[in-house]
Amino acid sequence: MAEKSKPLMTGYMISTQLMEIDGCNRCQECMKWCPTFAVRPDRPGITPMYKNAKWRELMAKNQSLRAKIFGGKPLNEDEMKLFTEDVYYCTTCGVCGTVCEAGIKTVDLWEAMRPNLVDRGNGPYGKQSFFPKLVKADRNPYQAKQEDRLCWVPKDAKVDESGEIVYFAGCTAAYRQQALGVATVRILNKLNVDFAMLGKDEWCCASAMVRTGQREVMAEHAVHNVDALKDAGAKTVLFACAGCIRNSTVDWPRWYEGYIPYKNVPLSVFLREKIRKGEVDYKIPLNYTVTYHDPCHNGRHLMHEIGKDWAFEASRHCIESIPGVKFKDMLRNRELQRCCGAGGGVKAGIPDLALDMAKARVVDGEEVSADVIASTCPFCRRNIMDGRNDAKSSIKVLDVVELMAASMGLDTTIPENPYTKFQEQDVLVCGPTTCTVETVERKAPGKDLVGEAH
């Protein structure tokens, strides 16, 4: 006897989200902005309008008036497979929600659809299924040792174990893009900011789990990290990783029942305050045309939480403060920016899609004749670098913090450590009066089991 088909599940959908699906008036605005549809124009099914319509159709098989009167219909598994693909062909960048006439909170909607697909046995997609296992086993997605969290910190750097200001570096800065971590530590030291880091008590923010609908590890990580930050005496937590600050601001509080006494602050906001107070002393001009890629996670995802000034302007102000830099915005910027393609588990699950999206963003940068695309997200940076390499573009990709550290004349040499061989990022090499950017070669495919984790 054939196994009975499972119906479409609604367990993770809030009832108002089910209403939102019916609120889609098919105006097609999301289709014009969707960055995945832009590189996969033969697949309209991946756009929000079609996903909503499909969900309605699938739900109607068992929940329509017809189904109530004559009985429900089994779901076609091929159809479910295709729908799952459509739902996961999305970086959860949220531009669809920004332009949605009906005001649908699309990021929350996709993130609520996905766990239902996971529970039904359809999701996640590709290598995304490794996330929970890896993170549960190692507390980071890179199969790295927790004891090595601070292995990149220069010996002469001053980092406390507790304090009111805590820098939450994130897994990528700790193991894969240590130049960002070193630059951050050097700048904070230079500015005489007493700050702490959690070391082995810093666990993965678990962003990838929530984004891909695999929430089971989330509770443990959210509670652990909040408690660790509280134990460290944090009043201000600095983030140089867009994915981490998104999770810390939006997701952790959903899983943490107690009072959270600290404030999450993007590092660029903290540094802008220092610039405004005249505490930042630049020494070397950077004679580059620099453009800024707004990460979705601390831009659109947080603009209603922390305000558009923090979300979009602070990083631009930091870049513009650097002597010699000529700043130019890309055509699509701020809340309407084009996603780099790494988020929502796409980099791990559908790497070719992520790469094509990154190439589109590189083209955006080239259109304004930028020498450097700067960002404040290690995942955006990784993916845009991959896109740049694939497109054989000469554009450089750096973090805003690294640009600042170079111009301040700080030594950002990464100490030798077990993860040195994994360091593949464009680096600024500075002499006494000038800096140049060295480009990395293409990353060897398959080095990381799951690629980037946001």
Partner 1 sequence: MAFYTLGLTFNLVIILTVIVLAVWVYGIYFNFKKWGLGSTGYHDQLRNSFWLFLATWIKEAFKDGVWVFIRTAVLDVLLLRRTLARSPIRWVMHMSMFYGFVALAALSGLGLMIDIVEHFNLMGLAHEAEIWKEYLGLPFDLFGYLLLFGATIAVSRRILLKFVRDNTTAYDAFLIGAVFLITITGFYAEWMRGNAFLVGNMFEYPIYAPHFALIHTILALGLFAFVFPWTKYIHILATPMTLLANRGGE
Binding positions for partner 1, rule: CB under 8 A: 10-20, 22-29, 31-32, 44, 49, 53, 59, 63-65, 97, 99-105, 254, 304
User: Smallest gap, in angstroms, from Cβ of residue 217 to partner 1?
Assistant: 15
Q: Is 410 helix (H, G, I), strand (E, B) or coil?
A: coil
User: Smallest gap, in angstroms, from Cβ of residue 18 to partner 1?
Assistant: 4
Strand ranges (DSSP E) for 285-383?
Answer: 289-292, 326-327, 372-375
CA distance 120 to 77: 11
Q: Which is nearer to partner 1, 39 or 166 (CB)?
A: 39
| Adjacent-strand bridge partners of 346 | none
Q: Residue 158 has what DSSP assignment? A: -
Q: Which is nearer to partner 1, 251 or 364 (CB)?
A: 251
CA distance 107 to 335: 14
Q: CA dist 250 to 51, 184, 255, 256, 444, Å?
A: 24, 24, 10, 11, 34
CA distance 126 to 394: 31
CA distance 293 to 104: 24
Q: Which is nearer to partner 1, 132 or 141 (CB)?
A: 132
User: Smallest gap, in angstroms, from Cβ of residue 336 to partner 1?
Assistant: 10
CA distance 383 to 256: 31
Q: Which is nearer to partner 1, 83 or 152 (CB)?
A: 83
CA distance 11 to 120: 11
User: Smallest gap, in angstroms, from Cβ of residue 77 to partner 1?
Assistant: 22
Q: Which is nearer to partner 1, 256 or 422 (CB)?
A: 256
Q: Which is nearer to partner 1, 64 or 423 (CB)?
A: 64
User: Smallest gap, in angstroms, from Cβ of residue 178 to partner 1?
Assistant: 35
CA distance 92 to 109: 9
Phi-psi region of 135 (alpha: psi -120 to 50; beta: other; left: phi over 0): alpha
User: Smallest gap, in angstroms, from Cβ of residue 13 to partner 1?
Assistant: 4
Interhelix angle 351-367/378-391, rounded to 10 degrees, is 80
User: Smallest gap, in angstroms, from Cβ of residue 112 to partner 1?
Assistant: 8
Q: Which is nearer to partner 1, 71 or 103 (CB)?
A: 103
Q: What angle do CA 379, 381, 383 make, to 5 degrees?
A: 70
User: Smallest gap, in angstroms, from Cβ of residue 64 to partner 1?
Assistant: 8
Q: Which is nearer to partner 1, 105 or 145 (CB)?
A: 105
